[in-house]
Amino acid sequence: MDKKKVIGATAAVTALAGINAVRAAVYKPEKKEIVAYEPETVDLDRFRKNLSDAVKIPTIAEKNPADMNWEPFDRFHEFLKERYPLIHECLTLEEPVRGSLLYRWKGKRDDLDPIALLSHQDVVPISEGTLQDWTYAPFDGVDDGEYIWGRGTLDMKNHLIGVMESVEALLAEGFEPTRDVYLCFGHNEEVMTSEYSGAVAMCQYFKERGIHLDCVIDEGGAILPVNIKGIIDAQLAGIGVAEKGYADVEVSISAKGGHSSQPPKHSAIGELAGVIQDIENHQFKEELSPMMMELFDSVGRRMSYPMRLIMCNLPLLKPVIQKVMTLIPPAASMVRTTTGVTMASGSPAPNVLPQKASVNVNFRMYPGETIEDVEKHLKKVIKNKKAEITVKPGWKNPSAISPTDSRCFNALRDICSQMNPKSIIAPYLVMGGTDACHYEAVCENIYRYSPFLVDTQLLLCTHGTNERVPIAALEDAIRFFKLYIRTLSAE
């Protein structure tokens, strides 16, 4: 290269680096007017006692209503009546379906769409053989001064009791909402049974009365500390704006079977092995959606200067990030429909060739993809045309994606940053299912967010052993719900 070219290239690189440095310097969170925030006094002892007592009632639901043990649910309803007298005096209560509670707090105006706060009363059972692993029995509701222990302390009696505490406190203060406020407490979220779902019945209740909801808030994201030394020190308030779909599909191969002493080259299982390889080798296409880009962007803007040099080029980096994410399973689940081969069956005896071999493939569909896409995809990638594909009942398409510029999302953003200037408020995709998606028929602004500061390690105890909530996270949850109701029940 001659000298001129070298000088030219050096100048171009320097100029680009300069432009990038300037971009990184202005790549910061949007400056917002900071509203003065004075944390209000909360009756923490009351919340602790009521949450601990709520955990003692083992509200475990069954798929089939005929198998339900209603006694704990009846007891839980009595418990709520006894502990929240103002709510039961000032709000109306209906049971659109046995077990589910729908409270209506009438607002001053009826020309405005109401808001709804959702929670489910039921909890998951304790996995067989794990009871002895618990530090404190799961239904004792032990409060050891640091945590409240037990099933439901994270999913989601903490949230339900938090909402009740907040409404009771607002009533005691004489607060009157402008819009109607609904509290919708389903009774069987954990058993994923849309046929008898309490949430479906409650949505039906709104539909029949022509009630359109302004916004819905349900379980979902928590507040996660994000600390990487020298790069970021923040709290991530993830607001779930969508949830993935769910489907189990049986893929099977039929064969003659017979005695295993005279096997063919490939038994049904042998052939099925090829089918499984086809399925696993052809994953769904990844896509870093605008929602995910917004999440990366919100986090990137909070990073320290050298990292911002990279993050400010997010649109350019999109293809690389997308690819890297597919290599890390938890990250991959955020960018595509996932495929998990989970159960297999063959012949009933060691010396019998299978007449049918099958696997269950579990799919979690990415918003935008449907059960039809899953079937189409399987038909395309499985080369063995003998394979039979059967979608099992109980599938659910992904939810719609709620907007990030609605009145409710903006309020969530304001409340979270007001309560903690270190908050990063970002939309995200919820992996599991919630009751919230059933409300799509009556609401477009559906958000999934639990205002409890819980670290990732602890969050993994949800549905597992030693589920517990830090007492330090409780006060702010009440403050959040009170602010949320005050703000969103207004005009």
| Interface residues toward Zn ion, by CB under 5 A | 155-156, 219
Residue 43 tokens, joined: 């009756």
Number of residues that this document lists for the chain: 491
Q: Which residue is nearest to Zn ion, using beta carbons? A: 155
378-399 burial code (b ≥16 CB/10 A, e <16): beebbeeeebeeebeeebbbbb
Residue 456: count of CB within 10 angstroms of its CB: 10
Residue 288 tokens, joined: 């870093």
SS (H, E, C) 386-449: CCEEEECCCCECCCCCCCCCCHHHHHHHHHHHHHCCCEEEEEEEECCCCHHHHHHHCCCCEEEE
Check if the beta carbon of residue 369 is closer than 8 Å to that of residue 289. no
* Cβ distance to Zn ion smaller for residue 434 or 489: 434
Establish whether 168 is a catalytic residue: no
- The least distance separating Zn ion from the CB of residue 320, rounded to whole angstroms, comes to 35
Check if the beta carbon of residue 80 is closer than 8 Å to that of residue 176. no
- The least distance separating Zn ion from the CB of residue 54, rounded to whole angstroms, comes to 14
Establish whether 122 is a catalytic residue: yes
Distance CA 248, CA 432 (A): 14
- The least distance separating Zn ion from the CB of residue 129, rounded to whole angstroms, comes to 23
Q: Which of 155, 165, 189, 219 is catalytic?
A: 189
* Cβ distance to Zn ion smaller for residue 139 or 284: 139
Q: Quick one: 38 exposed, middle or buried, by C-beta within 10 A (0-12, 13-18, 19+)? A: exposed
- The least distance separating Zn ion from the CB of residue 396, rounded to whole angstroms, comes to 15
Give the residue among 469, 247, 455 at the shortest CA–CA distance from 364.
247
Give the position of tokens 């069954």.
Answer: 62
Distance of CA 62 to the CA centre of its chain: 21
> What's the number of CA atoms in the CB half-sphere (13 Å) around residue 204?
13
Distance CA 305, CA 25 (A): 7
* Cβ distance to Zn ion smaller for residue 51 or 311: 51
* Cβ distance to Zn ion smaller for residue 156 or 425: 156
- The least distance separating Zn ion from the CB of residue 191, rounded to whole angstroms, comes to 11
Sequence-distant contacts of 313-320: CB under 8 A, at least 24 apart: 313/20, 313/23, 318/288, 318/293
Specify the amino acid at residue 116.
A
* Cβ distance to Zn ion smaller for residue 168 or 435: 435
* Cβ distance to Zn ion smaller for residue 190 or 271: 190
- The least distance separating Zn ion from the CB of residue 189, rounded to whole angstroms, comes to 6
- The least distance separating Zn ion from the CB of residue 156, rounded to whole angstroms, comes to 5
Distance CA 91, CA 49 (A): 23
Give the residue among 347, 344, 357, 350 at the shortest CA–CA distance from 254.
357
* Cβ distance to Zn ion smaller for residue 143 or 189: 189
- The least distance separating Zn ion from the CB of residue 200, rounded to whole angstroms, comes to 16
Check if the beta carbon of residue 155 is closer than 8 Å to that of residue 463. yes
* Cβ distance to Zn ion smaller for residue 180 or 435: 435
Active site amino acids: 122, 189
